[in-house]
Structure 1
Amino acid sequence: MDNTVKLLTERKCAVDGPDHRISPSTVSPFENAIAKSRDRSSPEIFIPAIGTTFNSCQEAYGFYNLYSWEHGFGVRHSKTRKNQFGYRNMHEIVCQCEGRSLTKSSASCRSGCHAMIRLLRTDDHGWYISMFHSEHNHPLSVGCCGKMQWNSHNEIDPLALDFIKKLGENNISLGKLYNIIKSMKDDIGKTMEILNAMKQNDNETEIMVDVDSDNRMKAILWCKGKNREDYSYFGDVVTFDTTYRTNMYNMPFGLYVGVNEHFQSTIFGGVLMCEETAAAFEWAFESFIKIMGGKHPITILTGQPMQGHESSYKKTMPDTKHRWCRWHVLRDAKEKLGNVYSKHSCFKSEFHGIINEEVCVLNFEKRWEELLVKYDVVDNSYLQLLYKKRRMRARPYFMGVFCAGMTSTQRSESANHVLKHFITRSSPMHLFVRQYNNLLKSRRAEEAREEHSTSLRCRVLKHGMPIETDAAVYKIFTQELFMSASFVAKELENSSSFEVRSAGSLLDVSVDSTTHKVDRLTDGSMVKCSCGWFEHSGLICRHALKVLVRCDVQKIPPGNIMRRWTTRAREAKNNTPSVTEEGETSEKNSYRHNLLCMAMYDLSQDASLSEEGFELVMTAISTARKNLSDLNRDRPA
Structure 2
Amino acid sequence: MWLDCVNGRAPCSIIIDQDRAMKSAIGIVFPNTRHRYCLWHILHKLPEKLGSHARFNAGLKTDIQTTLYDSQNINEFEESWGELVEKYDLVGNKWLESLYEERSFWVPAYLKGHFCTGMSTTQRSESMNAFFDGYVHFGTTLKEFVDQFDNALRKKVEVETLADFKSINQTIPCMSHFNIEKQFQSVYTNAKFKEVQRELLGLMACYCLLVSTEGSILKYDVLDEISTDELIKTVNFNVYFNEKEVDVKCTCGLFETRGILCRHALRVCQFKKINVLPNVYVFDRWRKDLKRRYTLLRSSYDDHSEREDTRNYELVVRRCLKLATKIASNNEKVHAFLHVVDEFETKYEDSTVDSTLKLTKDKLDVVLDKGKKILSPNVVRGKGRPPSKRKVPPVEKMVTKKFKRIRRKILVDETKLHNIPGSEQP
Query: What TM-score bracket applies, with the shorter chain setting the length?
Result: 0.5 to 0.7
CA drift at 1:478: 1.7
Partner of 1:550: 271
- Is structure 2 residue 236 aligned with structure 1 residue 518? no
Q: 2:89 aligns with which of 357, 372, 376?
A: 376
Count residues with an aligned counterpart: 297
Secondary structure, aligned partner of 1:295 = coil
Alignment of 1:26-65 (within 5 A): none
Secondary structure, aligned partner of 1:527 = strand
Partner of 2:132: 419
CA drift at 1:388: 1.4
Q: 1:536 aligns with which of 257, 271, 285?
A: 257
Alignment of 1:420-459 (within 5 A): 420-425=133-138, 427-459=140-172
CA drift at 1:488: 2.3
Q: Cα deviation per residue 1:243-278 (whole Å; 9 max; x = unaligned)?
A: xxxxxxxxxxxxxxxxxxxxxxxxxxxxxxxxxxxx
Change (3 A) 1:432 1:369: farther
Residues in 2 aligned to 1:483 and 1:305: alpha-carbon distance in whole angstroms? 35
Partner of 1:218: none
Change (3 A) 1:441 1:589: closer
Residues in 1 aligned to 2:243 and 2:204: alpha-carbon distance in whole angstroms? 23
Change (3 A) 1:564 1:379: same
Q: 1:361 aligns with which of 61, 74, 82?
A: 74
Change (3 A) 1:332 1:577: same
Alignment of 1:154-169 (within 5 A): none
Secondary structure, aligned partner of 1:296 = coil
Q: Cα deviation per residue 1:403-439 (whole Å; 9 max; x = unaligned)?
A: 1222221211223334345433465555455444444
Report which of the two has the higher share of helix. Answer: 2
Q: Cα deviation per residue 1:417-476 (whole Å; 9 max; x = unaligned)?
A: 343454334655554554444443333233223211110001221344332122242122
CA drift at 1:522: 0.8
Residues in 2 aligned to 1:338 and 1:460: alpha-carbon distance in whole angstroms? 48
Secondary structure, aligned partner of 1:442 = helix
Checking the alignment, whether the CA contact within 8 Å between 1:490 and 1:500 is kept in structure 2 is yes
Q: Cα deviation per residue 1:222-248 (whole Å; 9 max; x = unaligned)?
A: xxxxxxxxxxxxxxxxxxxxxxxxxxx
Partner of 1:389: 102
Secondary structure, aligned partner of 1:584 = coil
Q: Cα deviation per residue 1:319-372 (whole Å; 9 max; x = unaligned)?
A: 222111112212233332332498515443443344355432233223333333
Partner of 1:493: 213
Q: 2:198 aligns with which of 476, 479, 491?
A: 479
Change (3 A) 1:343 1:311: closer
Q: Cα deviation per residue 1:563-594 (whole Å; 9 max; x = unaligned)?
A: 2222245455xxx69412563259797659xx
Residues in 2 aligned to 1:461 and 1:480: alpha-carbon distance in whole angstroms? 13
- Is structure 2 residue 301 aligned with structure 1 residue 583? yes
Residues in 2 aligned to 1:582 and 1:370: alpha-carbon distance in whole angstroms? 58
Checking the alignment, whether the CA contact within 8 Å between 2:158 and 2:368 is kept in structure 1 is no
Checking the alignment, whether the CA contact within 8 Å between 1:441 and 1:583 is kept in structure 2 is yes
Residues in 1 aligned to 2:114 and 2:137: alpha-carbon distance in whole angstroms? 37
2:119 aligned partner, one-letter code: M
Change (3 A) 1:347 1:483: farther
Checking the alignment, whether the CA contact within 8 Å between 2:71 and 2:77 is kept in structure 1 is yes
Change (3 A) 1:503 1:584: closer
Secondary structure, aligned partner of 2:117 = coil
Residues in 2 aligned to 1:290 and 1:516: alpha-carbon distance in whole angstroms? 43
2:254 aligned partner, one-letter code: W
Residues in 2 aligned to 1:457 and 1:540: alpha-carbon distance in whole angstroms? 23
Q: Cα deviation per residue 1:388-415 (whole Å; 9 max; x = unaligned)?
A: 1110011111111121222221211223
Residues in 2 aligned to 1:485 and 1:421: alpha-carbon distance in whole angstroms? 44
Change (3 A) 1:395 1:343: closer
Change (3 A) 1:556 1:366: same
Secondary structure, aligned partner of 2:14 = strand
- Is structure 2 residue 116 aligned with structure 1 residue 400? no
Residues in 2 aligned to 1:539 and 1:588: alpha-carbon distance in whole angstroms? 32
Partner of 1:468: 181
Q: Cα deviation per residue 1:138-177 (whole Å; 9 max; x = unaligned)?
A: xxxxxxxxxxxxxxxxxxxxxxxxxxxxxxxxxxxxxxxx
Checking the alignment, whether the CA contact within 8 Å between 1:501 and 1:515 is kept in structure 2 is yes
Q: Cα deviation per residue 1:590-613 (whole Å; 9 max; x = unaligned)?
A: 659xxxxxxxxxxxxxxxxxxxxx
Partner of 1:297: 11
Residues in 2 aligned to 1:446 and 1:346: alpha-carbon distance in whole angstroms? 45
Alignment of 1:62-211 (within 5 A): none
Stretches of structure 2 that go unaligned for 5 or more consecutive residues are: 227-231, 305-366, 373-426
Partner of 2:61: 348
Residues in 1 aligned to 2:143 and 2:49: alpha-carbon distance in whole angstroms? 38
Checking the alignment, whether the CA contact within 8 Å between 1:498 and 1:547 is kept in structure 2 is no
Residues in 1 aligned to 2:205 and 2:73: alpha-carbon distance in whole angstroms? 18
Change (3 A) 1:539 1:504: closer
CA drift at 1:382: 1.5
Checking the alignment, whether the CA contact within 8 Å between 2:237 and 2:251 is kept in structure 1 is no
Secondary structure, aligned partner of 2:52 = helix
2:125 aligned partner, one-letter code: S
Alignment of 1:217-366 (within 5 A): 287-302=1-16, 304-340=17-53, 343-356=56-69, 358-366=71-79
TM-score by length of 1: 0.42
Residues in 2 aligned to 1:424 and 1:357: alpha-carbon distance in whole angstroms? 43
Change (3 A) 1:474 1:424: same
Residues in 1 aligned to 2:134 and 2:242: alpha-carbon distance in whole angstroms? 49
TM-score by length of 2: 0.60
* Matched-pair identity in %: 25
Q: Cα deviation per residue 1:520-544 (whole Å; 9 max; x = unaligned)?
A: 24143x3233443322222222221
Checking the alignment, whether the CA contact within 8 Å between 1:487 and 1:500 is kept in structure 2 is no
Checking the alignment, whether the CA contact within 8 Å between 1:489 and 1:501 is kept in structure 2 is yes
Secondary structure, aligned partner of 1:499 = strand
